[in-house]
């Protein structure tokens, strides 16, 4: 079945090229800008004309079709990405689709966080429930399918861990070889183990994420390897689909706010693209505000907005325990800026202590996530305190990674070993109380019933006190 019909459009200078004409680094040859995938029905910014025949897909027909596919046994229908394939026609032949039945992630309420924050309606869309435990799977199924259709044998990425895990898994499914560049000693063990488990060639470079990107760029310029970092616009076509799935789960109601963590800064713009497309096609009446939260130690976008209104990026030497977002020179910062501006969202930064508290709070609701995902709740607290988000507004946090991705962080937190003494003294009195209530270090006891009973008794007294 022939379904592909798309072009790539430079987000900076507007130049349009055929998808197959793109260079190995996915950058415009005229201005070095990044591309967006566009379709004949896309709304083109700056009054440019649509790609060709602009007949819009019918909104009710799409809703019906997407619902119908839920009962199908075909793998492309069971995938929470390809079920929406009408809005991402990027492969000619569906036989090339590489899927692990990604997407279909749950939407949870967070009643305790809602109560504590005085916001009636806080939900978490848990993208960590994807096959390799992070939101990257939705993008990898899309980009790997294109790589497979274009006949690539090798794919590669630089990663803080989740991209590499997802790429390695999807490449293995496709029977392709993958090369992973990761900063040595700076990614969580769970993620490192995944790329080995899925058979990737894993190369730990003695540098940071930004240094890995530089080496990878040279490599793909010299060899026929498809670059699978998020500069690859096909990744973002997959990563926009959680926006579709989310509003479908809400029976086509649109929340007021979406909050995402910011690292290389592609995901916020992918979701914003998904919402904009649905709005343009009449599937939803308005677009939610998409806000991006960075860790204080890896805050180039926040800093640039503060210091020059987002005119130029101020790269930083990144450092945060939320290793997934330990990025100082994010490739997609202009796309992120555009997402903030078009949706009306904000960029905030949160401290290491705020991240740890938010992660423990999400964990205490029985959900759990990796540290980078917890910046969303920490950021929400700030936006509420600043009066930017009100009590009746509906908020969806995008939890990007599973709690098991970084169990070392969680264990260190509960054992009270995460922070330096200096960092601990920076925690406010009220937050100290919250931390104390949330910390559940393991108790080591002799295997003797009386000893265990006594320990339990004292714990129960604590609970009832
Ligand atoms: N959350 C998690 C768990 C991530 O792994 C990442 C990025 C982000 C948030 C940020 O998303 O880059 O689109 O702003 N991880 C990449 C990686 C960089 O290599 O796994 P972004």
In this structure, what token pair is assigned to residue 439? 């910390």
In tens, the pLDDT along 399-431 reads 999 999 999 999 999 999 999 999 999 999 999
Which atom belonging to ligand 1 lies closest to the Cα atom of 370? 3
CA of 324 to the centre of ligand 1 (A): 5
DSSP character for 287? -
Q: Cβ–Cβ contacts within 10 Å for residue 182, how many?
A: 26
Which atom belonging to ligand 1 lies closest to the Cα atom of 161? 20
Pocket test for ligand 1, best of 178, 180, 264 (most atoms within 8 A of CB): 264
Ligand 1, atom 11: closest residue by C-alpha = 263
CA of 162 to the centre of ligand 1 (A): 7
In tens, the pLDDT along 132-181 reads 999 999 999 999 999 999 999 999 999 999 999 999 999 999 999 999 99
Range 188-211 average pLDDT: 95
Ligand 1, atom 5: closest residue by C-alpha = 324
Confidence class for position 50, pLDDT limits 50, 70, 90: low
d(C-alpha 189, C-alpha 274), whole Å: 32
In this structure, what token pair is assigned to residue 193? 């183990």
Q: Cβ–Cβ contacts within 10 Å for residue 196, how many?
A: 14
- This prediction's pTM: 0.96
Which atom belonging to ligand 1 lies closest to the Cα atom of 191? 20
CA of 336 to the centre of ligand 1 (A): 13
CA of 267 to the centre of ligand 1 (A): 8
Give the pocket of ligand 1 (CB within 6 Å): 134, 136, 159-163, 230, 261-267, 324-325, 370, 372-373, 400-401
Q: Which residue has the tokens 């109601």?
A: 253
Range 105-116 average pLDDT: 98
Q: What are phi and psi of 195, to 5 degrees?
A: -65, -30
């Amino acid at each position: 079945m022939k379904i592909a019909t798309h072009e790539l459009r430079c987000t900076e200078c507007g130049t349009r090229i055929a998808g197959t004409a793109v260079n190995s680094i996915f950058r415009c040859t005229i201005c070095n800008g990044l591309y967006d995938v566009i379709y004949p029905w896309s709304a083109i910014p700056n009054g440019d004309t649509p790609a060709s025949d602009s007949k819009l897909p019918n909104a009710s027909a799409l809703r019906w079709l997407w619902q119908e596919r839920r009962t199908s046994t075909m793998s492309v229908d069971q995938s929470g990405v390809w079920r929406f394939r009408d809005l991402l026609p990027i492969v000619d032949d569906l036989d090339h689709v590489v899927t692990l039945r990604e997407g279909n992630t749950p939407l949870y309420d967070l009643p305790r966080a809602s109560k504590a924050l005085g916001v009636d309606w806080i939900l978490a869309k848990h993208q960590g429930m994807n096959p390799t435990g992070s939101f990257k799977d939705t993008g990898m199924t899309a980009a790997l399918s294109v790589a497979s259709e274009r006949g690539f044998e090798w794919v590669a990425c630089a990663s803080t861990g989740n991209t590499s895990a997802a790429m390695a898994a999807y490449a293995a499914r496709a029977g392709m070889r993958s090369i992973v560049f990761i900063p040595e000693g700076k990614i969580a063990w769970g993620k490192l183990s995944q790329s080995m488990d899925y058979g990737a060639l894993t190369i730990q470079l003695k540098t940071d994420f930004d240094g890995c990107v530089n080496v990878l760029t040279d490599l793909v310029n010299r060899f026929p390897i498809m670059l699978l970092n998020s500069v690859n616009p096909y990744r973002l076509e997959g990563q926009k689909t959680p926006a579709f799935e989310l509003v479908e789960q809400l029976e086509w109601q649109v929340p007021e706010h979406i909050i995402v963590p910011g690292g290389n800064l592609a995901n916020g713009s992918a979701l914003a693209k998904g919402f904009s497309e649905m709005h343009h096609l009449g599937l939803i009446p308005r677009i939610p505000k998409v806000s991006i939260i960075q860790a204080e130690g890896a805050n180039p976008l926040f800093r640039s907005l503060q210091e020059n209104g987002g005119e130029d990026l101020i790269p930083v030497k990144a450092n945060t325990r939320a290793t997934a977002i330990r990025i100082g020179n994010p490739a997609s910062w202009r796309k992120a800026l555009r997402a903030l501006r078009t949706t009306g969202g904000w960029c905030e930064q949160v401290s290491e202590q705020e991240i740890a508290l938010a992660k423990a709070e999400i964990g205490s609701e029985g959900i759990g996530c990796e540290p980078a995902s917890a910046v969303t709740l920490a950021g929400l607290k700030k936006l509420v305190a600043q009066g930017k988000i009100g009590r009746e507004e509906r908020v969806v946090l995008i939890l990007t990674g599973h709690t098991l991705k970084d169990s070392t962080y969680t264990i260190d937190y509960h054992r009270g070993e995460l922070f330096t003494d200096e960092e601990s003294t920076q925690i406010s009195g009220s937050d100290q109380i919250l931390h104390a209530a949330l910390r559940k270090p393991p108790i080591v006891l002799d295997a003797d019933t009386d000893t265990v009973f006594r320990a339990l008794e004292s714990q129960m007294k604590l609970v009832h006190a």
